[in-house]
Chain A
Amino acid sequence: MAAQIFSAIFVIVVGVGGCVAYFWGANKLVDIIFPSRGVAGAAAIDNLRRQGMIRPWLFVGPAMIILTIYLIYPVVETLRLSFLDRGGANFVGFANYEWALGDREFRTSILNNIIWLAVVPAACTFLGLIIAVLTDKIWWGTIAKSLIFLPLAISFVGASVIWKFIYEYRGAGQTQIGLLNAIIQYFGGQPQVWISLPFWNNFFLMIILIWIQTGFAMVILSSALRGIPEETLEAAVIDGANPFQIFWKIMVPQIWGTIAVVWTTITILVLKVFDIVLTMTNGQWNSQVLANLMFDWMFRGGGDFGRGATIAIIIMIAVIPIMVWNIRQANKETGGH
């Protein structure tokens, strides 16, 4: 273990030192090759111009190389692999996509993903908005927000253990150590094995993600609500609007853009949801989702890269509209800059 700590520290020093050495060294090199000081006027201007052409690429170079290897090349390669067989040797056309459409487990995953997409972003945004509005009105609102925000720091696996403990089942009549079944039993109901109840188990898994992500929605929406001009709200009060009208007709339209951002951010997260399903059910009892199914195919029976890649492409297709929208928004904002 001491060796491991030592090697980790060594790597940090080497890695950071290497980065600094690269940027500093490359910069120095440009200065030496194209000197701008101590040479005649015209040559100096020429060299300055050359420096200006090269230097930006030195700065963005490492980032571009890493992005290309880790994100751009894989996107192309995954697309290619989705048309190849399991080992990636033979071209199979759309066979993997045909397989996906006919596969029962894949269809379950798509269906479940659609339910996740319909429920989780809406629930998080709605709850986040309500909590943001309510906590704004009380003196201990900041503390309350901190506590609701806290699950955002917890890993999906940790959160799964936390909730699995809540859903824990013991036979009827026994002492329940899971909070949910204890409450049900206290009120005279039948304890249930929540995570294996077909269909409904999806919702018990979704609750975990909602529990984690509501804090995110709350913080963003809370700051957007603060941005609503005080006069607008005062005018509404003077005009006799009740709190519900103020909420729905004044506040919500004013922060519509932020709501959209929160919604899309959580949507992307939902498309990638993997850890929760893996740790809670591993896709059993009809709770499979695309990301977990893909992981499964990556390693199932030695791995089927063709099918795995196909599932990844399908997740990607769902993300593309959001991607295009983001780029358009950004272009609009940066405009002339």
Chain B
Amino acid sequence: MAVATGKSFASRFGVHIAVFIFVAIWTIPTLGILVSSLRDKDQIIASGWWNSFASSTQTEAGRLPPASAQVEKDGKFVLEGNIFGDDAARDISAFGVKSAAPTQYPAGTTADLGDGETLQLNADGSFVMTSTKAFEGERGQRVYYASSAPPKFTTDNYDTVLFSEGIGRSFMNSLTVTIPATVIPILIAAFAAYALAWMRFPGRALLIAVIIGLLVVPLQMSLIPLLKLYNGVGSFFGVPSKTYLGIWLAHTGFGLPFAIYLLRSYIAGLPREIMESARIDGASDFEIFVKIVLPLSFPVLASFAIFQFLWVWNDLLVAMVFLGTEGDQIVLTAKLNALLGSRGGDWEILTTSAFITIVVPLIVFFSLQRYFVRGLLAGSVKGG
């Protein structure tokens, strides 16, 4: 843009900085769940994801061996060993014996626990506990320690959510809902759009006005009557009221006004000469539509397909009303919502599930962004 020319270096630099800050704010949240979904689940709660490349410090609890492992040495009773067992990969910085003060003593020092007991815990996990009296009891002393672990990245979370949390199944359910719900409205809308753009019949202007009106009717208006209708149809024919067929048709209905509006404005803009010369050559409306209009409308069909795909894939409301919440029907968004309730604090599950639900839209979006933007512009600038 011409405005930018002749500006000082400082102001141009300012623009770069400002845009960079905006980009950072808009991408960091998504980056956060991507990084977290790849981290070890203990590390997710031990440190912020932005620290995931640094060693993380976490406070853990362990138990010393029971009294039966003690040996008597120089008149004292001694327990020795390593708190990590065999895998001594971590580095202890501090320890304690009370949950209220888990890092009371620095590693390597000898703590006086009272009653003639002492405990020394070293950085590598080895410990020596001594007592003037014999240790008793089945359970050993509880020890808390802060250890730092090297950054650990893993795909375990993906294994867990895909195969044991049911996200894999929901992924299939989402595809089952989305693909027919994207394909069916396109055909129906394309024929209607052609008729509204190029065929003359009474009531056409009224129909167009109705469709533009329906564009903004809130989904909420349809929910209760359709729920009643579906329940009625279900009990009348003795079939379940929550079926894939039901939700395909529902999404078709909700997507149609926008589909017809978008396709009509595009098809109406096709050159009149092409249609007329085809008609003179004896082509029927059906032939004109199939052989000329459909191929020429590919860009707008692609735009709508992307819209509808994203809208159906990302929908929660319609799925919650018209589809079951059991394993064989629950879609990704509803599953993620359920996990938020049942696995509230388990961020390794939530971040991973969230990333799986958004990865398909992101791929579609990035690979077909051109068509998406074109549809967005056609759909809204002209007044919708």
Contact = CB atoms under 8 A, between A and B. Distances in A.
B223 A298 contact: yes
Nearest to A261: B380
B314 interface: yes
A161 B375 CA distance: 28
A1 B361 CA distance: 22
A265 to B, nearest CB: 6
Contacts of A57: 201
Contact of B245 (A11, A211, A265, A326): A11
A209 interface: no
Interface in A112-162: 127, 131, 134-138, 140-141, 144, 146-158, 160-162
A177 B211 contact: no
B383 A176 contact: no
B191 A59 contact: yes
Nearest to B347: A165
B10 interface: no
B46 A175 contact: yes
Contacts of B22: 127, 131, 134, 144, 148
B29 A333 contact: no
B224 A78 contact: yes
A165 B33 contact: yes
Contact of B225 (A77, A151, A278): A77
B377 interface: yes
Interface of chain A, main secondary structure? helix
Interface of chain B, main secondary structure? helix
A125 to B, nearest CB: 12
B89 interface: no
B187 to A, nearest CB: 4
B213 A323 contact: yes
A163 B225 contact: no
B54 interface: no
A271 B220 CA distance: 10
Given A4-B328, A157-B357, A223-B381, A81 B225 contact: yes
A146 B286 CA distance: 40
Interface in B188-202: 188-189, 191-192, 194-196, 199-201
Contacts of A262: 380
A134 B337 CA distance: 37
A126 B224 CA distance: 36
Interface in B356-384: 357-358, 361-362, 364-366, 369, 373, 376-377, 380-384
